[in-house]
């Protein structure tokens, strides 16, 4: 029993040492500002690509609402309204400005990948040119994948309704309630497993992603309660109060995500040591 407590203490001491040695607090702030600056360009690219496919009409708005409500718990409606205003004004932009936003989106992905690899102590796996090609493919393909998922959503809903009528089991509401949690869980597992330029055992990515998802969902509840009871931001900033609160939430979110990366790194080191 004493040895287990000692090992746990050593593990968490190593965890916090790596967390602060990797400058996770500074990198979380950098990613928070990067996210704030690139959110609108990413959505412009999303809407522009989905607009090329007539059968995805309306899917872009659904994707935006779902992402905001899943990863940004408070003020999702206000942020969505502001983003829609920006997007509506920017749809008249020329093609070379759209290319500029496309490059900005790629740089955001590059910054994210570089941050993960810095924590792992590795470098980006490919030459910078080929890396940017892969990131460009991700930016181009992701909206199509999301559009397909939301395109088939109504058909899946119809299947659930038919299943409930046949079995008399009410499963639609639990699935809808659990979907945001499942999306964040799978997302964080994928981040830890696929992004680092290292051989990451799926077991380590699974546990790190699970802990990250639990902390993230808990932080959503706490942050929602905090913003609903704190009014001085509204007094100070008025209609602009959503901006500092949004930035704080982005910073907290990236702290949790990078903390999960540190946990995954240590779990792999422990697995290698035990092996």
Could you report the per-residue pLDDT of 81-108, keeping only the tens digit for each? 666 666 666 556 667 777 777 777 788 8
Residue range 135-144: mean pLDDT, rounded: 64
Which residues, other chains included, contact 39 with Cβ-Cβ below 8 Å and sequence gap of 6+?
A: 83
Residue range 136-145: mean pLDDT, rounded: 63
Single pTM value for the model: 0.77
Contact 31, 254 (CB under 8 A): yes
Residue range 138-160: mean pLDDT, rounded: 53
Give 62's DSSP letter.
H
Q: Tokens at residue 9, please? A: 């203490």
Least confident of 21-25, 48-52, 264-268: 48-52
Least confident of 153-157, 188-192, 224-228, 271-275: 153-157
Whether 164 shows a pLDDT value over 70: the answer reads no
Predicted local confidence at residue 155, as pLDDT:
45
End-to-end CA distance of the chain: 22
Predicted local confidence at residue 226, as pLDDT:
73
Give the residue from 213, 218, 217 showing the smallest Cα distance to 263: 213
State how far the Cα of 6 lies from the Cα of 20, in Å rounded to an integer: 21
Contact 29, 255 (CB under 8 A): no
Q: Determine the 3-state secondary structure of 22 from DSSP.
A: coil
């Amino acid at each position: 029993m004493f040895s287990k407590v000692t090992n746990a203490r050593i593990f968490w001491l190593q965890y916090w040492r790596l967390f602060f040695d990797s400058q996770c607090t500074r990198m979380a702030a950098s990613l928070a500002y990067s996210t704030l600056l690139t959110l609108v360009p990413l959505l412009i690219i999303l809407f522009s690509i989905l607009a090329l496919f007539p059968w995805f009409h309306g899917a872009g708005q659904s994707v935006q609402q779902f992402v905001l409500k899943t990863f940004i718990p408070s003020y999702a409606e206000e942020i969505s309204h502001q983003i829609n205003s920006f997007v509506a004004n920017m749809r008249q932009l020329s093609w070379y400005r759209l290319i500029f936003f496309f490059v900005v989106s790629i740089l955001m992905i590059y910054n994210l990948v570089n941050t993960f690899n810095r924590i792992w102590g590795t470098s980006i796996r490919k030459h910078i040119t080929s890396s940017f090609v892969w990131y460009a493919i991700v930016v181009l393909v992701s909206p199509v994948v999301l559009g397909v998922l939301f395109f088939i959503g109504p058909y899946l809903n119809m299947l659930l309704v038919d299943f409930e009528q046949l079995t008399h089991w009410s499963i639609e509401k639990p699935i809808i309630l659990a979907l945001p949690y499942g999306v964040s869980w799978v997302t964080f597992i994928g981040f830890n497993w696929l992004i680092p330029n290292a051989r990451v055992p799926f077991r380590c990515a699974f546990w790190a992603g699970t802990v990250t998802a639990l902390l993230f969902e808990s932080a959503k509840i706490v942050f929602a309660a905090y913003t609903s009871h704190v009014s001085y931001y509204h007094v100070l900033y008025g209609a602009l109060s959503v901006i500092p609160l949004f930035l704080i939430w982005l910073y907290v979110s990236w702290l949790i995500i990078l903390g999960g990366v540190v946990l995954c790194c240590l779990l792999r080191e422990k697995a290698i040591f035990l092996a």
